Amino acid sequence: MNTPTKRDLLLEESLQLIHEKGFKATTMRDLAERMGYKVSNIYNFIDSKQSLLERYLFDISGEFHKGANQICNSALSPTEKLKAVISLHVQLTTNKPYEVGLLVNEWRNLKEPKLSNFLDEKAEYQSKVREIIKEGIEAGDLNAFDLDVVTHLVLSSVRWLYDWYINHTEEVNPVELNRQITNFILSGVMKK
């Protein structure tokens, strides 16, 4: 296993600080103090707070898109695709809770043109999930609820997870968590 570099440690601390204080309230001075560095030294590792936000948001968004594309292009049934999307959220959240927290809460702090790019990616991802749910309804596997409402509820059900998980990482088995969340969501949308 590789020993984390100073840059790796700094980036991890920045994620935790942003989670604790919020993006706007977190300063480079806060990060320098937490790491025991001078503020000027921080810029050897990070160009700016904004570039840090952009990097993390687009990296984690890219991971969600990559997973969703694989799921959408698979031969799985619509119900299995929906299970896979839920599992994707649980897996990424349990592996990278602070990054997912940025994705949920801090995207509003992006500046143009990155904000518009991010909103396009967000809409595209939601469209992929919506299409999976639509296929499930058309196949008769899922209840014929309002498509937009179901899509919103499914995604909302997994968005909160990062905040809870950060405080319970030692207590929770991610595999069991995935099973419980998947069963809970599917029990609400699947036909009996």
Listed by start position, the domains of the chain span: 58-95+128-189
To the nearest whole percent, how much of the chain has pLDDT over 70? 98
pLDDT level of residue 170 (50, 70, 90 thresholds)? confident
pLDDT level of residue 168 (50, 70, 90 thresholds)? confident
Position with higher pLDDT, 1 vs 91: 91
**Packing angle between helix 97-105 and helix 49-72, nearest 10 degrees?**
100
Q: What is the pLDDT of residues 78-89, one digit of tens each?
A: 999 999 999 999
90 pLDDT higher than 80: yes
pLDDT level of residue 160 (50, 70, 90 thresholds)? confident
Q: Do residues 106 and 53 make contact, with C-beta atoms less than 8 angstroms apart?
A: yes
**CB within 8 Å of 97: residues ≥ 6 apart:** 162, 163, 165, 166, 169
For the record, the structure tokens of 101 come out as 């927290």
pLDDT level of residue 3 (50, 70, 90 thresholds)? confident
* DSSP-based three-state secondary structure for 169: coil
For the record, the structure tokens of 121 come out as 């990616």
99 pLDDT higher than 90: yes
Distance CA 140, CA 6 (A): 53
Distances (CA, A) of 47 to 51, 52, 125, 146, 160: 6, 8, 29, 45, 30
Q: Which one-letter DSSP state was computed for residue 5?
A: P
CATH class of 58-95+128-189: mainly alpha
33 pLDDT higher than 70: yes
1 pLDDT higher than 80: no
Q: Indicate whether this model's pTM tops 0.75.
A: yes
